[in-house]
Amino acid sequence: MYKKNLENWLNSNVIDEADKKAVLSVKDNEELEDMFYKNLEFGTAGLRGIIGPGSNRMNIYTVGLATQAFSNVINSKDYTYAEKAIAIVYDVRHMSKEFAEMAARCFAANGIKVYLKKENGTTPFLSFLIRELKLAGGVMITASHNPKNYNGYKAYWEEGSQILEDLAGEIKEQVEKISFEEIKLIDLEEGFNKNIIQYLDGEIYKKYINDILNKKIEDENIDKNIKIVYSPLNGTGSIPVREVLEKRGFNNLFYVKEELDPDPDFKTTNYPNPENQKVFKLSEKLGREEASDILIATDPDCDRAAIEVRDKNGDYIFFNGNKIGALLVNYILERLNAKKKLKGNEVVVKSIVTGDLTKYICEKYGIELVEVLTGFKNIAEVANKLDKTNDKKYLFGFEESIGYCYTGSVRDKDAVNSSMMIAEMAAYYKKNGLTLLDVLEKLYEEHGYFFEKLNQVVLEGINGREKIKEIMSKFRNEKIEKIGDMNLVKMIDYLNSDTGLAKSDVLKFLFDDGSWFAVRPSGTEPKIKFYIYSRDMDKDKSKKKLLQIEKYIDERLN
Ligand SMILES: O=P(O)(O)OC[C@H]1O[C@H](O)[C@H](O)[C@@H](O)[C@@H]1O
């Protein structure tokens, strides 16, 4: 496969000489093989890869191929949307604008109208506008939170959510069939002149911001003097998140100035992923100077958000997606219930590798909790299906990977809205004399101490892929009876057993006390992930259990 793809590249008459030379200059065989051993594939969240030449890399040719394939699939279907058009939004990364323009030229050449965002924009905005304008779909050019040498291509369908395996499969089939020569293109200028490519107007953005503002639950009853530090980590959140927080009337907003402007090199963090506490370094500095109550950071395409909360000593405590999600679910259910706005037909969704505290919170309010495979597209699919029923309604979805989405007007993670909801929630509790740390502690006292740890092993390249397979197979054959006092009650192999969900390479080991751990290869990065969760009504015991499971896994890995 690698030789064939390499030959195609070198013999193609549409690939620039410079891009051929770049390939010929690669002397490392392993590197060359990695560049060509497959076509870039749709993973957890679309195409994602290193920017550079090769069939397994993000470049204008692979973006063109994906777009030609996507166009073929769109053109092969009867449609129910109002306009056969695609919206394209891109983030601040290297080549994002070029890839967006390449995609626009290709869709247009295939007779599909394009609404292009002129300046960089966020992922949730794209999702919102597809729904609002009733388009056929959309493309978001972003590698989300990956390092700066990556870019990606998230593909959306008419519901405003990312495509699922069925459509990804159809696109893949097309990618395998067509050659670079078959990518149809028109000039950008021609597209604009013929009006088949058009810039999005500002109205739709205003609608998006208003839609977010209208999602507020408490407004009078909150302390708007709460001190908030915000950092977009040099990504697209800078404009919308500040706008929303300012419009909500928060009076003490502090922004990390080094991380406010778009910067494709993400110089302050290198890895702009708010799942990683290190990205809060500058936020913490500013937080200390201002004695800020909370710090909020969003990732480059602004679909993810994480926070840190100031404790009694003035130190900042990192909150991961499990904690933030559980707090938001608790806040939303508690406040809607108090206002008699909770009908009981609402549905909360989380992934199978997301922590269980939310289960107990939902139970308390009699709200159904649905579990899906990793990938926000799967959460969105539940919302899409609920649209077709009259009795149930999507309320909130989240994943441990710091993505949350409140109500259904956006069908992907929305860190613009989440930043506002987090600020509102913190301000509500502040007015009631509580920090988010206090609220979390109360939840633990009520439902048990839920601790969690995500361990990840990075294994790159083809060898890495093999190693990941080996580790999965090792755990698949592992006969665990107990770890410490925790007795195994069930092992779920999502690839080989019938779980009611699509088959997926995930293993979950469940113990009798509510503790569990799961293993799966990442679908967005060259990693294997270990999700470790403990539960006990006693804090110290829960901490100990977490360490015991971690140790067990580490021993198997070494
Ligand atoms: O664990 P991975 O397959 O790398 O996915 C981690 C996360 O990646 C992206 O952000 C997706 O949108 C999420 O839905 C997913 O949870």
Instruction: Give the start-to-end residue ranges of the domains of the chain.
Output: 2-200, 209-317, 322-446, 449-557
Distance between CA 545 and CA 290 in Å, rounded?
37
CB atoms closer than 10 angstroms to residue 543: 14
What's the pLDDT at 41?
84
Burial (CB count <10 Å: 0-12, 13-18, 19+), residue 454: middle
Per DSSP, 221 falls in state: T
* Element of type H or E holding 407: none
What's the pLDDT at 411?
98
- Return the CATH number of 449-557, one of 3.30.750.24, 3.10.20.30, 2.60.40.1120, 3.30.310.50: 3.30.310.50
Tokens of 225: 């003097």
Q: What share of the chain is helix, strand, coil (3-state, %, to 5)?
A: 40, 25, 35
Cα dist from 241 to 229, 294, 495, whole Å: 12, 15, 39
Give mean pLDDT, residues 370-399: 96
Answer for the pair 247, 416: CB distance below 8 angstroms, yes or no: no
Q: What spacing in Å lies between the alpha carbon of 401 and ligand 1's midpoint?
A: 6
Answer for the pair 273, 145: CB distance below 8 angstroms, yes or no: yes
Quick check: 45 pLDDT over 90? no
Q: What spacing in Å lies between the alpha carbon of 309 and ligand 1's midpoint?
A: 24
Closest ligand 1 atom, residue 412 Cα: 12
Give mean pLDDT, residues 250-261: 98
Quick check: 46 pLDDT over 90? no
Work out the pLDDT band at 60, boundaries 50, 70, 90.
very high
At 353 the three-state DSSP class reads coil
At 145 the three-state DSSP class reads coil
Q: What spacing in Å lies between the alpha carbon of 166 and ligand 1's midpoint?
A: 18
Give mean pLDDT, residues 309-327: 98
299: left (phi over 0), alpha (psi -120 to 50) or beta: beta
Work out the pLDDT band at 423, boundaries 50, 70, 90.
very high
Give mean pLDDT, residues 309-325: 98
522 lines ligand 1 (CB under 6 A): yes
Cα dist from 342 to 286, 331, 410, whole Å: 38, 12, 20
Give mean pLDDT, residues 399-425: 98
44 lines ligand 1 (CB under 6 A): yes
Which protein residue has the closest C-alpha to ligand 1 atom 16? 375
Q: What is the pLDDT of residues 425-447, one digit of tens each?
A: 999 999 999 999 999 999 999 99
Closest ligand 1 atom, residue 145 Cα: 10
**Residue of 374, 472, 504 to test ligand 1 pocket, by largest number of atoms within 8 Å of CB:** 374
What's the pLDDT at 92?
98
Distance between CA 53 and CA 33 in Å, rounded?
12
Q: ∠173-174-179 over CA atoms, to 5°?
A: 125
Distance between CA 209 and CA 516 in Å, rounded?
39
Answer for the pair 93, 77: CB distance below 8 angstroms, yes or no: no
Q: What is the pLDDT of residues 159-185, one digit of tens each?
A: 999 999 899 999 999 999 999 999 999
Tokens of 4: 């064939």
User: How far is C-alpha 80 from the geometric centre of its chain's CA atoms?
Assistant: 27
Q: What is the pLDDT of residues 188-199, one digit of tens each?
A: 999 999 999 999
Answer for the pair 543, 450: CB distance below 8 angstroms, yes or no: no
Which protein residue has the closest C-alpha to ligand 1 atom 3? 523
Helix spans in 319-356 (H): 321-338
Domain boundaries 2-200, CATH class: alpha beta
**Residue of 401, 504, 505 to test ligand 1 pocket, by largest number of atoms within 8 Å of CB:** 401
User: How far is C-alpha 465 from the geometric centre of its chain's CA atoms?
Assistant: 22
Same fold, 209-317 and 449-557: no
Prediction ipTM score: 0.98
Q: What spacing in Å lies between the alpha carbon of 451 and ligand 1's midpoint?
A: 21
Distance between CA 1 and CA 242 in Å, rounded?
48
Tokens of 439: 């609220």
Q: Match 């040719």 to its residue by tokens.
A: 61
110 lines ligand 1 (CB under 6 A): no
Q: Match 């969240």 to its residue by tokens.
A: 45
CB atoms closer than 10 angstroms to residue 172: 16
Distance between CA 394 and CA 378 in Å, rounded?
13
Q: What is the pLDDT of residues 475-525, one digit of tens each?
A: 999 999 999 999 999 999 999 999 999 999 999 999 999 999 999 999 888
Q: What spacing in Å lies between the alpha carbon of 45 and ligand 1's midpoint?
A: 7
Q: What spacing in Å lies between the alpha carbon of 217 and ligand 1's midpoint?
A: 28
Instruction: Return all residues near 388 (Cβ < 8 A) that are at least 6 apart.
Output: none
Q: Match 């405003």 to its residue by tokens.
A: 160
| Fold for the domain defined by 322-446 | Alpha-D-Glucose-1,6-Bisphosphate; Chain A, domain 3 (3.40.120)
What's the pLDDT at 218?
98
Smallest CA-to-CA distance from 160 within 11, 383, 349, 356 is with 383
Closest ligand 1 atom, residue 154 Cα: 12
361 lines ligand 1 (CB under 6 A): no
Closest ligand 1 atom, residue 529 Cα: 1
What's the pLDDT at 363?
98
Q: What is the mean pLDDT of the chain?
A: 96
Q: Provide the residue count of the chain.
A: 558
45 lines ligand 1 (CB under 6 A): yes
Tokens of 353: 């590798």
Window from 1-10, 102-111, 250-259, 543-552 with minimum mean pLDDT: 1-10
**Which residues face 49 on adjacent strands?**
151
160 lines ligand 1 (CB under 6 A): no
144 lines ligand 1 (CB under 6 A): yes
Quick check: 319 pLDDT over 80? yes
What's the pLDDT at 328?
98
Distance between CA 265 and CA 267 in Å, rounded?
5
| Fold for the domain defined by 209-317 | Alpha-D-Glucose-1,6-Bisphosphate; Chain A, domain 3 (3.40.120)
**Residue of 122, 399, 457 to test ligand 1 pocket, by largest number of atoms within 8 Å of CB:** 399
Which protein residue has the closest C-alpha to ligand 1 atom 9? 45
Window from 19-28, 43-52, 118-127 with minimum mean pLDDT: 43-52
Distance between CA 520 and CA 476 in Å, rounded?
11
Tokens of 63: 């973006």
CA-CA-CA-CA dihedral for 540, 331, 411, 234, to nearest 10: -70
Give mean pLDDT, residues 390-412: 97
What's the pLDDT at 513?
96
Q: Which residues are catalytic?
A: 144
Give mean pLDDT, residues 300-305: 98
First to last CA, the chain: 33
What's the pLDDT at 83?
82
Q: Match 């609608």 to its residue by tokens.
A: 207
What's the pLDDT at 251?
96
